[in-house]
């Protein structure tokens, strides 16, 4: 049994990770800045603390007496958030810096950092037919402004704490994680959840239009949460010293993503394209050569399968909300 900190435990991925680590017999301290009633999932078996980890003294409190740290804490969201909150995204550098310092002081044995595909050179993401981003494509550096630069800098911090102080660090570059118990409205949601919500609400309101950011031809890959959690744990306890991709290699366009969700819903909507909305790079996909080499595994839950689980969960939340507001939903007629 290990004593483990999950930073960012009130978030989407963090909540799932806490449950997985507890199920493996570990003692988990779960920390987030949000009030407990705003956490996406709360595990009663964990030691749940509300702390601002941008402050060094709070990091020392969070880490003290523990063996390992999983740092998933960051101020982030989908493209609409990170394009309009670059300073807030950059300030997250304080979290990782102070957690690393606290880990060094408290004798932590292993440290996991959740990085992002936003670290990759933008010039390698101009083609919707992106063949897949290799780990080496992060350099020469031209990361996503704000969020991507913070992630790339924090990756380097992990590397140097390993080299200079002997702290075992692991870094995974996440590619678009989605699934149940995640953000689906409010401005921080990512494309799969946003599209599910829009399609579901069209069924409730009868409005047969869906707004798509950009021209819909931009491409991405999307990793289901179960694959993500397995990858985090496998990478943490591997011998992989360099940053590594953790993402699906099943690339789709946003238009194709909308079509899959429409098919799940049994609906068809008129598409309205907002060419002025935040849309990110033209093409991004995960090259999984290294993770297959090191672990003999890669994220593999098909997009349609994961979207069905996600759609059903979001529909349940939206229908409950619409019922409580007095609206009539076609899903419970």
147 has catalytic annotation: yes
Q: How many CA atoms lie within 13 A of 60 on its CB side?
A: 5
What is the rounded average pLDDT of the residues 75-95? 89
Q: Which pLDDT tens digit goes with each residue over 10-21?
A: 999 999 999 999
Which among 147, 273, 294, 331 is annotated as catalytic?
A: 147
pLDDT computed for residue 78 by the predictor: 73
User: Across the chain, what does the average pLDDT equal?
Assistant: 94
Going along the chain, which residue ranges are E strands? 3-7, 27-32, 47-50, 68-71, 110-116, 168-174, 177-178, 209-213, 219-221, 223-224, 244-246, 251-253, 270-274
Residue 132 neighbours by CB distance under 10 Å:
17
pTM for the whole thing?
A: 0.93
Give Dmax over CA atoms of the chain in angstroms. Answer: 63
How far is Cα 145 from Cα 181, in angstroms, rounded to an integer?
Answer: 28
Q: Which pLDDT tens digit goes with each residue over 46-63?
A: 999 999 999 999 999 999
How far is Cα 50 from Cα 10, in angstroms, rounded to an integer?
Answer: 9
How far is Cα 131 from Cα 103, in angstroms, rounded to an integer?
Answer: 38
Q: Which pLDDT tens digit goes with each residue over 225-278?
A: 999 999 999 999 999 999 999 999 999 999 999 999 999 999 999 999 999 988
State how beta strands 68-71 and 3-7 pair. Answer: parallel
Q: Find the angle CA(123)-CA(125)-CA(129) to the nearest 5 degrees.
A: 135
How far is Cα 189 from Cα 182, in angstroms, rounded to an integer?
Answer: 8
Q: Which pLDDT tens digit goes with each residue over 202-221?
A: 988 889 999 999 999 999 99
Residue 325 binned pLDDT confidence (cut-offs 50, 70, 90) = low
Residues 6 or more apart from 74 whose CB is under 8 A from it?
Answer: 8, 89, 92, 95, 114, 150
Q: Which pLDDT tens digit goes with each residue over 124-170?
A: 999 999 999 999 999 999 999 999 999 999 999 999 999 999 999 99
Q: Which pLDDT tens digit goes with each residue over 125-135?
A: 999 999 999 99
Residue 333 binned pLDDT confidence (cut-offs 50, 70, 90) = very low
Nearest Cα to Cα of residue 262 among 185, 195, 165? 195
Residue with tokens 């493996």: 24
What is the rounded average pLDDT of the residues 94-98? 98
Residue 329 binned pLDDT confidence (cut-offs 50, 70, 90) = very low
pLDDT computed for residue 326 by the predictor: 53
How far is Cα 207 from Cα 67, in angstroms, rounded to an integer?
Answer: 53
């Amino acid at each position: 049994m290990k004593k483990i900190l999950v930073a960012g435990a009130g978030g989407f991925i963090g909540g799932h990770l806490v449950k997985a680590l507890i199920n493996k017999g570990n003692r988990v301290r779960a920390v987030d800045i949000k009030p407990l009633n705003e956490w996406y999932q709360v595990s009663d078996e964990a030691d749940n603390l509300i702390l601002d980890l941008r402050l060094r003294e709070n990091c020392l409190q969070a880490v003290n007496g523990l063996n390992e740290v999983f740092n998933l804490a960051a101020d982030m969201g989908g493209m609409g958030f990170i394009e309009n909150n670059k300073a807030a995204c950059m300030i997250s550098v304080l979290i990782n810096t102070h957690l690393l310092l606290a880990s060094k002081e408290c004798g932590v044995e292993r440290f996991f950092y959740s990085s992002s595909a936003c670290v990759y050179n933008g010039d390698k993401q101009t083609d919707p037919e992106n063949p897949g981003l290799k780990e080496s494509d992060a350099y020469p550096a031209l990361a996503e402004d704000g969020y991507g630069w913070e992630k790339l800098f924090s990756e380097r911090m992990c590397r140097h704490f390993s080299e200079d102080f002997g702290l075992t660090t692991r870094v995974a570059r996440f590619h678009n994680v989605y699934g149940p118990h995640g953000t689906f409205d409010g401005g921080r949601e990512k494309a799969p959840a946003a599209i599910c919500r829009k399609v579901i609400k069209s069924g409730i309101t009868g409005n047969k239009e869906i707004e798509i950011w950009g021209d819909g031809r931009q491409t991405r890959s999307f990793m289901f949460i179960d694959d993500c959690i397995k990858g985090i744990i496998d990478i943490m306890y591997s011998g992989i010293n360099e940053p590594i991709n953790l993402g699906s290699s099943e690339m789709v366009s946003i238009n194709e993503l909308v079509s899959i969700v429409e098919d799940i819903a049994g609906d068809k909507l008129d598409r309205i394209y907002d060419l002025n909305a935040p849309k990110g790079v033209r093409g991004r996909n995960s090259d999984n050569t290294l993770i297959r080499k090191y672990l003999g595994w890669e994220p593999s839950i098909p997009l349609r399968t994961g979207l069905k689980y996600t759609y059903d969960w979001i529909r349940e939340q939206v229908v409950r909300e619409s019922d409580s507001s007095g609206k009539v939903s076609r899903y419970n007629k």
